[in-house]
Amino acid sequence: NAGVTQTPKFRVLKTGQSMTLLCAQDMNHEYMYWYRQDPGMGLRLIHYSVGEGTTAKGEVPDGYNVSRLKKQNFLLGLESAAPSQTSVYFCASSYSEEFTYSYEQYFGPGTRLTVT
Amino acid sequence: AQSVTQLDSHVSVSEGTPVLLRCNYSSSYSPSLFWYVQHPNKGLQLLLKYTSAATLVKGINGFEAEFKKSETSFHLTKPSAHMSDAAEYFCVVSSYQDTGFQKLVFGTGTRLLVSP
């Protein structure tokens, strides 16, 4: 049971290049998320998915696209990278817990992206 | 809107002394609250969560937190710090969206430094 895995772990891009970050989970979770972490700002939600084939915008979605073609995978794409997208990106997943007020998110190890 | 404020960006303690990491929250309804820990270059791991059951919540590695509604606080404590506790700690509150989706709102983090 690997939990949540992310590839790649590190990447350096030039401004304007594109790339896709892959997140995979083996816990059969319905919900998946992409966050970015910047110094002094905690984690901010980029996009999320509540099930296969669905995606929705979080609080900082501009410049990113996502897809959830399979339940276990959630892809984050940068079509034209900008220096402002230099960050550490975390993927997470969770069960959907209807009628409760709490659920735990399980995080991947992160991808450190630098855009020059 | 739900929010959390972590009152200290850095906390320094000596090994064997108590740890106190402070968190205040703002929520228009009875919230779910979490503490996550992030060790250097790692993903986030859940330490403990409050879900309206007991107000004193015990977590992993000897940490606990007390939910105080009157003070809107959820401070994290540990009686005796260990070198391995050195990490960044995030206080998190759940936030319901109009769609029914429950989003996590992260504090900006507190870095715990433990000296020998």
Name the more confident of A89 and A29: A89
Q: Does B46 contact A104 at a Cβ distance shorter than 8 Å?
A: yes
Q: How confident is the model at residue A94 (pLDDT cuts 50, 70, 90)?
A: confident
Contacts of A100 in chain B (CB under 8 A): 51
Q: Does B101 contact A48 at a Cβ distance shorter than 8 Å?
A: yes
Q: Does A101 contact B9 at a Cβ distance shorter than 8 Å?
A: no
Q: How far apart are CA A99 and CA A41, in angstroms?
A: 30
Report the sign of the C-alpha dihedral through residues A4, A85, A47, A100, in that order: positive
* pLDDT at residue number B77: 98
Q: How confident is the model at residue A50 (pLDDT cuts 50, 70, 90)?
A: confident
Q: How far apart are CA B108 and CA B43, in angstroms?
A: 15
User: Tokens 């630098």 belong to which residue?
Assistant: A114
Interface test with A, best of B104, B105, B108, B110 (most A CBs within 10 A): B104
Q: How confident is the model at residue B43 (pLDDT cuts 50, 70, 90)?
A: confident
Q: Which two tokens stand for residue A51?
A: 């099930």
Average pLDDT on A58-70 reads: 95
Name the more confident of A30 and B29: A30
Q: How far apart are CA A69 and CA A90, in angstroms?
A: 19
Name the more confident of B28 and B20: B20
Q: Does B49 contact A102 at a Cβ distance shorter than 8 Å?
A: yes
Tell me, rounded to whole angstroms, the distance of Cα A73 from its chain centroid. 10
Name the more confident of B31 and B57: B57
* pLDDT at residue number A54: 92
Nearest CB to A101: which of B32, B36, B103?
Answer: B32
* pLDDT at residue number B40: 87
Q: Is it the case that residue A85 has pLDDT exceeding 70?
A: yes
Please write down the HEC assignment for all residues of A26-84: CCCCCEEEEEEECCCCCEEEEEEECCCCCCEECCCCCCCEEECCCCCEEEEEECCCCHH
Quick one: chain B helix, strand, coil %, rounded to 5? 5, 55, 40
Q: Does B104 contact A45 at a Cβ distance shorter than 8 Å?
A: yes
Q: How confident is the model over B69-90, as pLDDT tens digits?
A: 999 999 999 999 999 999 999 9
For A98, the closest chain B residue by CA position comes to B100
* pLDDT at residue number A99: 45
Q: How far apart are CA B48 and CA B28, in angstroms?
A: 22
Contacts of B30 in chain A (CB under 8 A): 101
Average pLDDT on A36-65 reads: 92
Q: What type of residue sits at position A107?
A: F
